[in-house]
Chains A and B, each alone.
Chain A
Amino acid sequence: MQVFLRQAILGILVVLSALTLTFILVRLSGDPTSIILPQDATEAQRALLREQLGLNQSLVTQFLSYLGNAVTGDFGKSYFDSESVTSIVMRHLPNTLVLAGASLAIACLFALPLGVMAAVWRDGPVDRFVQVAAVIGASMPSFWVGLLLIQVFAVGLNLFPTYGTGSAAHLALPALTLAIYAFPSLARLTRSSMLEVLPQSYVMAARAKGMPESRVISRTVLRNGMVPVLTLLALEIGNLIGGAVLTETVFAWEGIGRLAITSIQRRDFPVVQGVVAYVAVGFVIVTFLAEVAIRFVNPRLRHK
């Protein structure tokens, strides 16, 4: 319980720092009125807009009212279409969740079994393949993978649309791009943590009890080897959201990554702040869930 309390406090600190940092960084990015208003707007018009947007108040006042509202889940309205930030984020968030979920599922589908097989048949063909694939996957930047996939599957083979949001066909290429991004670390960690468990004497003991090999692997090796993999998965979700920013931009996928980029470009402060806040909260929740899952798998931690 104490551990969870610590996690909760840590989570609140993470979200608070994220809110503060974004608040400062967006204001360093420049004056929104120079983008919202035409080039030839007068200084009086700009001052008026700043007042409407509340940007003429002191930074401390702005920060406090922003924090106060944020706690209640109110991040204000977009500078451009006066839609509430929460509703904009909620419109984009499902797309990102679908993308991240699909790519994580694809990555796990390949990385976990391949990682296990690579460890069980160490130095065999599967192991070689995983090693090579992991190196190649890790050395390709995801925007480039995205462009490559578009070139091959969309332009060349005409199997999928090049960009856009909505259908499963639209999802295929961005999800694959992100999956390739997540695959190397996941496969390698799965392999190395299985390799760590395999020589343990409880694995030999399970065989000496006459347990079938499939049961030895699934019950004994996997359960013990999964602990570090679960921890990585939680971090991986954070990484995927980072990776989603680029991938969504390449594929014009209407998720919060793309939303963040367009909002930064047009200095839509409330939207940027809102996106970061929701992502930070989401990240904290995922980390917390991973911690719970690890405790479920590893009883040694449960009783500490």
Chain B
Amino acid sequence: MTVGVTLPPPTPTLRVEDLNVSFRSRAGHVDIVRGVSFDIAKGEVFAIIGESGSGKSTAAQAIMGLLPDHARVSGGLLLGGEDIAHISARARRRLLGQRISFISQDALSALNPCTTVGYQIAEVMMVHRGTPRRQAMERAVELLALTGISAPEERVNHYPHQFSGGMRQRALIAMALALEPELLIADEPTTALDATIKAQILELLSSLRARFGMSVLLITHDMGAVARLADRLLVMYAGKAAEVGQATDVFAAPQHPYTRALLRSMPRLDRPGEALVSIPGSPPVPSNPVAGCAFHPRCEQMGEVCMRIAPEEALLRDGHRVACHFASREPTDA
């Protein structure tokens, strides 16, 4: 980005500063998220990708303050510039559902089987805004219609088990949008769906994001989804950010060996038919951390320094950051 005059950067919707999460276990504390920092700008789709167990969901839950009591969380969290890391449980509750919404991977188990879908949507408005039930249910019908559910007047009184998988995910999205949040956290929103439905849901998310002008934190394994939706992305490995940058930059010129391996290992919609290469070895077990760079045992570029020293994140350009001793160090213009 080349700008003539230096403007003060706009306040990001979410700023995460040096987020650390560890879980207490019998063998002491296990570090799951280790010093992750990123900003999500207003209206931006920010993706986090990484292998299973890298700490993506844990980071999302830490942002929402929903981790269990045996988790220890540190770091800064700013929502629209306000500190949300050090607030009361009551203040956090008012935030969730209103300013931050969450949709989870498994839409069936994310809906209460004993209550109608409509009531679960209406409940958000009833509890947070004191909307009368009748009005809230009417709004739920509108929201269901907005997310593309046909016959919403009827559907609103149905129970989750009467919905198909795709419809449940739409209902969850409707619920998340009820109070027009600034930030939508979507943890693998399409994993449980088949390809056609997956595409529809991504399309829906993308159009609704534009319509409501909200920011989206998208956690996914799906490179197709990242390529289609994400403005920026963070590649997570063993609880750390391996690489952060504009999605187009990272796709075009991945700097971290892990990112390159990951891109080769994941199917991409824009390059169908390309042979997939799985990453040899397996990620470290959190209870038994690797010395030096966590990726070095699996790295094709590994040097002697990697076994001793964990690389710092280095800024390349345009907010493109990489944590690798061997990343091409070009002078930064930031």
Which of A7-15, A53-61, A296-304 sits within the interface?
A: A296-304
Which of A27-35, A137-145, A210-218, A241-249 sits within the interface?
A: A210-218
Which of A125-133, A201-209, A284-292 sits within the interface?
A: A201-209
Total interface residues in chain B, CB < 8 Å: 29
State the total of A-B contacts with C-beta under 8 angstroms. 77
Which of A85-93, A98-106, A219-227, A255-263 sits within the interface?
A: A219-227
Whether A209 pairs with B175 at a CB distance below 8 angstroms is yes
Whether A207 pairs with B96 at a CB distance below 8 angstroms is yes
A 162-218 contacts with B by CB, 8 A: 200-202, 204-212, 215
For A204, list chain B residues within 8 Å (CB): 66, 104, 110
Whether B162 pairs with A211 at a CB distance below 8 angstroms is no
- B326 CB, min distance to chain A CBs, angstroms: 40
Whether A219 pairs with B175 at a CB distance below 8 angstroms is no
User: Which secondary structure dominates chain A's binding surface?
Assistant: helix
With A208-B64, A210-B97 known as contacts, the answer to whether A202 contacts B113 (CB < 8 A) is yes
The contact of B127 among A205, A210, A299, by CB within 8 Å, is A210
Whether B112 pairs with A207 at a CB distance below 8 angstroms is no
State whether the Cβ of B124 lies closer than 8 Å to any Cβ in chain A. Answer: yes
Whether B110 pairs with A202 at a CB distance below 8 angstroms is yes
The complex places the Cα of A186 from the Cα of B112 at a distance, in Å, of 24
Whether A210 pairs with B115 at a CB distance below 8 angstroms is no
For A220, list chain B residues within 8 Å (CB): 112, 114
State whether the Cβ of B109 lies closer than 8 Å to any Cβ in chain A. Answer: yes
With A210-B95, A210-B98, A211-B127 known as contacts, the answer to whether A299 contacts B114 (CB < 8 A) is yes
Chain B residue at smallest Cβ distance from A221 = B112
For A297, list chain B residues within 8 Å (CB): 114
Chain A residue at smallest Cβ distance from B161 = A300
From B101, B112, B161, name the one whose CB has the most chain A CB atoms within 10 angstroms. B112
For B102, list chain A residues within 8 Å (CB): 205, 208-209
Whether B66 pairs with A207 at a CB distance below 8 angstroms is yes
For A207, list chain B residues within 8 Å (CB): 66, 96
- A68 CB, min distance to chain B CBs, angstroms: 46
For A200, list chain B residues within 8 Å (CB): 109
For B115, list chain A residues within 8 Å (CB): 219, 223
The complex places the Cα of A204 from the Cα of B96 at a distance, in Å, of 12
From B94, B111, B161, name the one whose CB has the most chain A CB atoms within 10 angstroms. B161
- B165 CB, min distance to chain A CBs, angstroms: 14
- A144 CB, min distance to chain B CBs, angstroms: 40
For B114, list chain A residues within 8 Å (CB): 220, 223-224, 297-299
Whether A208 pairs with B161 at a CB distance below 8 angstroms is no
A-B contact pairs, 7 of them (CB 8 A): A208-B64, A208-B102, A208-B104, A209-B101, A210-B95, A219-B112, A220-B112
User: Top 4 closest A-B pairs, CB basis?
Assistant: A210-B97, A210-B96, A208-B102, A209-B97
